[in-house]
Amino acid sequence: MPQTFTQLLNAMPTTRLAPSPTGALHLGNARTFLANWLLARERGWRIILRIEDLDGPRIKRGADQQAIEDLQWLGMDWDEGPIYQSSRRDAYAKAVRRLIEGGFAYPCICTRKEVDLAASAPHAEDGAAVYPGTCRGRFASIEAARNASGREPAIRFNVGTEIVEFVDQVRGSQRFQMARLGDFVIQKADLTPAYQLAVVVDDGEMGMTEVVRGNDLIDSTPRQIMLYRALGLADRIPNYWHLPLVVGPDDRRLAKRHGDTRISHYRERGVPASRVLELLNRWLRIDSKQTESIVFTADDDAFLRAVD
């Protein structure tokens, strides 16, 4: 039987560029986007541009357009999108309901402060307390949780005693004891879907086969794999590529304290895109398999600014 065009498209290797309009694109995330884009264009993957704009209070007005312009200025393009996550809330709500009904997720009425105080487990690498499981099996329904606290509960995914293994395309075999990461939030108390859930619902539905991102998100991958399985999407788990982050000379993730490294900043100063690309390409030649991070030095900054 002949395949429809949609079926053909969905069978294609596919990746996404997924900027979050919570801040401007800087040299560090530009490197990750460029690596993703180059891999895609070299290997013939379809590229979807997805704007991850669910983090309400942190979203900056106009940052989505700015990210799009910055990516284009650096010469990147895409085959589909932009698709805004904020337009897909129904799909996320449906997945959350399904996970609750399937017994994979439960309501949690703990405040952040309570979680911090109650945490006995070692703290996760990102400094967040590991949720101690206070509300696991505590409420018969969302209604019951709401009545107990007088407010809307968050929804957490129960990781149980699972051990999740996967092979990262850059970093090789990975193994996570999920109890050490703890039950994670899939829907916040303000009914906003959490990052982990939205990404899996989108990636699953959009036929994503390749996920390329910074290695600060490697802890997210086993959580997302558990979500794929619980949502009956185990056959759609993509390949993951976790790339080293760009850090400052103090070995901390590139941020404001290292000066203004926004792409738009250099652009407004009249630094040509070719100059920025030259630095990004130099960083791309650093073997991602061999290094945890790439250091942005004062020399790099001077190189960008030295426009004659």
Site residues, Zn ion (CB under 5 A): 108, 110, 134-135
- And the tokens for 260? 């203004």
- Is the CB of residue 221 less than 8 Å from the CB of residue 107? no
Fill in the amino acid letter for 307: V
**Residue 114 Cβ vs Zn ion, minimum distance, rounded to whole Å:** 7
Residue 116, by phi and psi: left (phi above 0), alpha (psi -120 to 50) or beta?
Answer: alpha
Is position 113 annotated as part of the catalytic site?
Answer: no
**Residue 224 Cβ vs Zn ion, minimum distance, rounded to whole Å:** 22
Taking alpha carbons only, the member of 145, 125, 143, 126 closest to residue 134 is 145
**Residue 199 Cβ vs Zn ion, minimum distance, rounded to whole Å:** 23
Task: Pick the closer one to Zn ion by CB: 110 or 217.
Answer: 110
Rounded CA gap, 195 and 204, in Å?
14
- Extended strands (E) in 178-282: 184-187, 210-214, 239-243, 245-247
User: What proportions of the chain, in percent to the nearest 5, are helix, strand and coil?
Assistant: 40, 20, 40
- And the tokens for 168? 């990262």
Which member of 60, 113, 188, 256 is catalytic?
256
**Residue 95 Cβ vs Zn ion, minimum distance, rounded to whole Å:** 20
Give the active site residues.
Answer: 256
